[in-house]
Amino acid sequence: MTDAVLSLYLAALESDGDKKQFRELYRRYHRVMERTALAVLHDPHDAEEAVQEAFLRVIENFSRIDEIPCKDLGGWLVIIVRNEAITILRRRRCHLPLEEGWADFAGQSRDLPAYSSMVQLFARLPDTYRAALEMKLVLGWSTAEIARRLGLTESAVNTRLSRGRALLRKIFEEEGIEP
């Protein structure tokens, strides 16, 4: 994102405090947001578009950003950019193959749905499990990094990952996809 684009975002904010807070948010999270978008879209231009759209969503809701606990802010931003990337996929009607990070789970199914269907099934998981699984499977984060980002112990993260995978398998079974 160029300085000109950042300046446009800052112009949308009223107070100097909000502008300072947004600059810090951008500095701290834009790279992980770019990696997230790129992991979904596999195209740097589309990923940049997703990041820009995500930051627009952040600006639209900036008055409520202080309501989000600090430990959840990174995950919230990752989810926003991921959703924007999925919107771009849907708009362009692209279907992407499963990534290497899905290899273990993909090996458990003989007839996996298209990527967008997979995302819809994944979205049925409770937020606590989905966030941990996204960080692990989509972003490739270590258990320690996920624990740090979510403010949990590694044991709690492993529990969420295990339960999330079990629920995802159950959802697959309900949809007639054999694990």
In tens, the pLDDT along 149-175 reads 888 898 999 998 989 888 888 887 777
43 vs 100, higher pLDDT:
43
Question: Region 81-102: what's the mean pLDDT?
Answer: 65
- Tell me: pLDDT of 93 over 70: no
Question: Region 26-45: what's the mean pLDDT?
Answer: 88
In tens, the pLDDT along 97-125 reads 444 444 444 444 434 445 556 667 777 88
Q: What is the pLDDT of residue 121?
A: 72
- Tell me: pLDDT of 63 over 60: yes
In tens, the pLDDT along 131-149 reads 888 888 777 788 888 888 8
Answer for the pair 56, 84: CB distance below 8 angstroms, yes or no: no
Range with top average pLDDT, 31-40, 59-68, 120-129: 31-40
pTM to 2 decimals?
Answer: 0.50
51 vs 100, higher pLDDT:
51
Q: What is the pLDDT of residue 94?
A: 42
